[in-house]
Structure 1
């Protein structure tokens, strides 16, 4: 193996400690995968993983001897967790994979080397390894692909996709998050083998779809690979309506709103993905709003703020930014002013409450109706939000109610 010693990585102290322990115990160990990729891209890695020729059965007593707690994260796949305070670092035994079943689950063999371990990985940019003294190991051209912002499967693209169909969505995720382009053979494999996603659980599909939608290039990726998404959502999609996704704030409800706005059967498609109930509730509330052109009135916006939560209003405004930017600019200004000036839009902002109306002679249900009438008058700027003005209006409202009751 030819290591490039020109590369140096600022690895976290726990990783350096684990490398020291493993090598002192007579084992090989290197940093692999997304951590190396992110370091080379100048990004802060979310996690840092080790690969080694030691098995979990050999690792556990070795780490215990150094008083490092371990967690059995996935022993069937050779993965052990090493805990340092609140952080857990994964250590995985070199492995080969073969005999994939249902285009997802392989038979795992641990009599592997670092070369064979890197060969089984999905993309060249994830098949990189590094070591604090040895430098960088690149056996599959991952470094050149990083520089070219190119996404390429390791080895034969069709084989990688057939082995694990989830790699189809992982390809779209990396393209969306990193802004990379799939090279032609990888793109062809993704498009032609999209039907294999039927073998993947809805939960895994939903998780990857969330990551795709939250990427900076979500619009371009979803529009380009609309055929993949149509298979996932089981409905036709309008690619033109998908392109603006990247113009929306990175809010999951907002991005799903954009995706489902392009769907022919949005509610059915979302339900089949088994998302959290909160997301379903938000979409049910907000999707009808995408099919009407909103007035630019602050009064109208306040009435919507009575119906929707603040987070739902923000999500809807995020959608509006992409599809009707001029209206978004006006309504966003109104929204910010309402918040900054604490303008009245709900009962909680009224200068009186139910207790204030007990002396007016109203019953419980009538008190609620009176407060709603007060709120409406204040929102429409026909009444000042002061205790005296509201009390006067409430007494008149109650008197009018009694007069109608006598007729």
Structure 2
């Protein structure tokens, strides 16, 4: 193996400490995967994971002897978590994978080496290893692919996708997030075997889809691989509308609106992915707004803000920016003005409250209805938001209420 000593990364202290502990006992330990890739790309790694020839049974007592708490993250796959404060560092035993079932779950063999462990990984850019003194190990051309912004499966692309169909969506995810292009054989494997996504759980599809949509290159990837997404969602999509996806802000609700704007039955399609209830409710509320040309008056926007949360309004405005830009310019200015001037759009901003309306003779449910009547008048700019003005209106409203009850 050739280790290139020209590369030096600043690794977290806990990782260096773990490597020292393992090597002191005669084990190997290297940093692998996304951490190495991100360091080479000049990005700050989200995680830093270790690979070692020590098994979980050997790791647990060793870390315990050094008073390092552990978490059993996936012992069947050789993964143990080492806890340093609130931060968890994954340590995974070198492994080989074979005899995949249902195009997802492999038989795992821990009788492996670093070479075989790197060979089982999905993409060449993820099959890199780093050691603080030895340097960088690249057995599959990952460094060259990083420089070329090329996404390539390790080994035979067709075989890697048939083994684990989730790699299809992972390919789209990395292409979207890193702005990489799949090399021809990998792209063909992804397209050809997209129907295998029926073997992947809807929860895993949803998780990968979120990451794909939040990539800076999501529009181009979703348009290029629209047939793959259709297999994942089991629903037809319109490439023309997906092309504008990247022009929306990096907001998950906004990007789901852009995705499902081109879907025939969006709520049923989203529901089968089992998303969080909050996201589903937001999409359910906002989808009707994507199928109409909105009025551009401030009064209309304030009326919508009575039923939409601020985060929902922002998400919808983000969609509007790409798909109805002229309306977005006006409504965004209104939205910013409403916030800056603290204009009334909910009861909390009214100059009167329930206690105030008790003084004009309203009781119980009448108070709530009276406040809503006051709010409607202020939102529609027929009344000023001043206590005296609103109390006079409430008195007349209460009087009309009593007179109508006597008829």
TM-score w.r.t. length of structure 1: 0.98
In structure 1, the residue matched to 2:262 is 262
TM-score w.r.t. length of structure 2: 0.98
Matched, 1:95 2:95: yes
Q: Distance in 1 between matches of 2:119 and 2:127?
A: 7
In structure 2, the residue matched to 1:360 is 360
Structure 1, unaligned runs of 5 or more: none
Deviation, structure 1 residue 126: 0.1
Deviation, structure 1 residue 253: 1.0
Question: Matches of residues 170-249 of structure 1 in structure 2 within 5 Å?
Answer: 170-249=170-249
In structure 2, the residue matched to 1:334 is 334
Q: Secondary structure at the match of 1:39?
A: helix
Q: Distance in 2 between matches of 1:63 and 1:354?
A: 62
Matched, 1:57 2:53: no
Q: Distance in 2 between matches of 1:234 and 1:180?
A: 26
What is the aligned-residue RMSD (CA, Å)? Answer: 1.1
Q: Distance in 1 between matches of 2:403 and 2:325?
A: 49
1:54-78 deviation line (CA, Å, top 9, x unaligned):
1111122222222222222211111
Q: Secondary structure at the match of 1:191?
A: helix
In structure 1, the residue matched to 2:22 is 22
Q: Distance in 2 between matches of 1:62 and 1:365?
A: 67
In structure 1, the residue matched to 2:398 is 398
Q: Secondary structure at the match of 2:305?
A: helix
- Structure 1 pair 116/398, CA: closer, same or farther in 2 (3 Å)? same
Q: Secondary structure at the match of 1:329?
A: helix
Deviation, structure 1 residue 406: 4.0
1:319-352 deviation line (CA, Å, top 9, x unaligned):
1111011211111111111111110011111101
Q: Distance in 2 between matches of 1:5 and 1:405?
A: 89
Q: Distance in 1 between matches of 2:224 and 2:189?
A: 14
Structure 2, unaligned runs of 5 or more: none
Q: Secondary structure at the match of 1:98?
A: strand
Q: Distance in 1 between matches of 2:60 and 2:400?
A: 80
Deviation, structure 1 residue 404: 3.4
Question: Matches of residues 76-155 of structure 1 in structure 2 within 5 Å?
Answer: 76-155=76-155
Q: Distance in 2 between matches of 1:370 and 1:90?
A: 59
1:36-88 deviation line (CA, Å, top 9, x unaligned):
00000011111111111111111222222222222222111111111111111
Q: Distance in 2 between matches of 1:42 and 1:341?
A: 42
Deviation, structure 1 residue 392: 1.1
Q: Distance in 1 between matches of 2:361 and 2:254?
A: 46
Q: Distance in 2 between matches of 1:163 and 1:309?
A: 44
In structure 2, the residue matched to 1:281 is 281
Q: Distance in 2 between matches of 1:16 and 1:236?
A: 49
Q: Secondary structure at the match of 2:90?
A: strand
Deviation, structure 1 residue 364: 2.6
In structure 1, the residue matched to 2:379 is 379
1:137-158 deviation line (CA, Å, top 9, x unaligned):
0000100110111100001000
Deviation, structure 1 residue 405: 3.7
In structure 2, the residue matched to 1:45 is 45
Structure 1 stretches of at least 4 aligned residues deviating more than 6 Å after TM superposition:
none
Q: Distance in 1 between matches of 2:128 and 2:361?
A: 77
In structure 2, the residue matched to 1:163 is 163
In structure 2, the residue matched to 1:68 is 68
Q: Secondary structure at the match of 2:385?
A: coil
Q: Distance in 2 between matches of 1:181 and 1:341?
A: 47
